[in-house]
Amino acid sequence: MATVTDFTPGMRIAGCRIEAVAGRGGMGVIYRATELRLDRPVAVKLIASDRAAEPAFRERFERESRLTAAIDHPNVIPVYAAGEEAGRLYLVMRYVAGTDLRSLLERDGRLPPYRAADVIAQVGAGLDAVAVLSAAHAAEHALIGMLPLFTICDRWDVGGVSMAVHPATGEPTIFVYDGYPGGAGIAELAFDAADRHLAAAHDVVAACPCDAGCPSCVQSPKCGNWNEFLHKADAVTLMRVMLGH
Ligand SMILES: [Zn+2]
């Protein structure tokens, strides 16, 4: 069976030149590479072709690529590109020199407490970014679901995107936007109703009897991320903070 371990230095994929093997994981091989257009070092993860042929695996790969790309945090490795070329699934990421935690533990054994605390803090900060995104993403769905009560629209007329840290605001940011090019007046109506709209979204999610989110509160039938990274309880807290009570 063909594998991706036959990639050798000098070979090219996704606009990158392979330099050396950087690591091997369960899903494939990670290479140190050079992104030729920008002449910068990157890490290229190539998925073993036998895995890439499984539809369920491909779906998971695409989902994880999108979710990871939505997180902009210093402790989460940024994804530059993901896709398929010549039957290979690839992920192009920032190249981080050094080793991963598993290799470090295998090499050095148990870490001294101060090192362990530092590693946990770094992982925790990365997980915090995921937690913030999950709260914002769930609130975004609730806001989209409630918008038809305040504007003349259908939830399919409206789009949304959430980020743990948006480059323009430097803060967690939720966008709910008019889905028509140029706008159909939905955004203006929503802006005027913002406080009532937010309060209504909060009330619906807070009152929903489900445990962790359902189609009546934070799940959306049109979510581009398969309703993953949604945290119902944190969304309620986030909206309460936004409402100031
Ligand atoms: Zn629910």
Could you tell me the distance, in angstroms and rounded to a whole number, from the CA of residue 221 to the centre of ligand 1? 13
Same domain, 54 and 126: no
Residue 173 belongs to some domain of the structure: yes
Model confidence pTM above 0.85: no
Number of structural domains in the chain: 2
Strand order in the sheet with 16-24: 12-13, 16-24, 28-35, 40-47, 88-94, 79-85
Which pLDDT tens digit goes with each residue over 172-182? 889 999 888 88
Residue 177 belongs to some domain of the structure: yes
Could you tell me the distance, in angstroms and rounded to a whole number, from the CA of residue 220 to the centre of ligand 1? 11
Same domain, 59 and 122: no
Residue 104 belongs to some domain of the structure: no
Does the pLDDT value for residue 210 go beyond 90?
yes
Could you tell me the distance, in angstroms and rounded to a whole number, from the CA of residue 109 to the centre of ligand 1? 44
Q: What is the largest CA-CA distance in the chain?
A: 62
Same domain, 136 and 74: no
How do beta strands 173-178 and 28-35 pair?
unpaired
* Full residue range of the structural domain in which residue 32 is found: 12-98
Could you tell me the distance, in angstroms and rounded to a whole number, from the CA of residue 218 to the centre of ligand 1? 6
Same domain, 89 and 131: no
Which pLDDT tens digit goes with each residue over 186-209? 889 989 999 999 999 999 999 999
Same domain, 77 and 165: no
Same domain, 122 and 45: no
Residue 5 belongs to some domain of the structure: no
* String of DSSP letters for 80-115: EEEEEETTEEEEEEE---S--HHHHHHHH-SPPHHH
